Amino acid sequence: MARPKAPELTERELELMQIFWEEGEQTAADVRKILEDRGRDLAYTTVATLVRILLDKGFLEQTNSERPFIYRPVRTFKEVSGSLVNDLVKRVFGGSKEQLLVSLFGDQKRLSRKDREMLENLLEEQNQ
């Protein structure tokens, strides 16, 4: 029996989406070449299947009707990453953002100046 499709991204699907977010509209062949240039040698059929899955899941859309087909992201990096982080917080930390932060920063004795400034800026924005 086939495993049902996950509504969110698998690791390989996320790898392809990163390319679309970074590079914009691409064909499956373009994505395969970019992966190859980055040291990841996947067969064209594998990349084409992943693109089709991303299309079916609503993460990509086809922008033309003639071959080679060109695809572009429908969902933004911010939207997808936010959804993945929210899911992580719910599933792993019982919905507690505090527990996530403790996990991220609890083992460090001191935050770097850059990390501290970033957190202070985020907290300041939340209070406005």
Percent of the chain whose predicted confidence (pLDDT) is above 70: 92
Model confidence at 86, pLDDT cuts 50, 70, 90, reads very high
Give me the pLDDT at residue 122, please.
86
Q: Which long-range contacts (CB under 8 A, 24 or more apart) does 19-28 make?
A: 20/60, 20/71, 20/72, 20/73, 21/73, 21/76, 21/77, 24/72, 25/63, 25/70, 25/71, 25/72, 26/70, 26/71, 26/72, 27/68, 27/69, 27/70, 27/71, 28/68, 28/69, 28/71
Domain boundaries, the chain: 11-73, 77-127
pTM, 2 dp = 0.81
Mean pLDDT of the region 79-88: 93
Please state the rounded mean pLDDT for residues 12-37.
98
**What pLDDT sits at residue 8?**
80
The CATH number that domain 11-73 falls under is 1.10.10.10
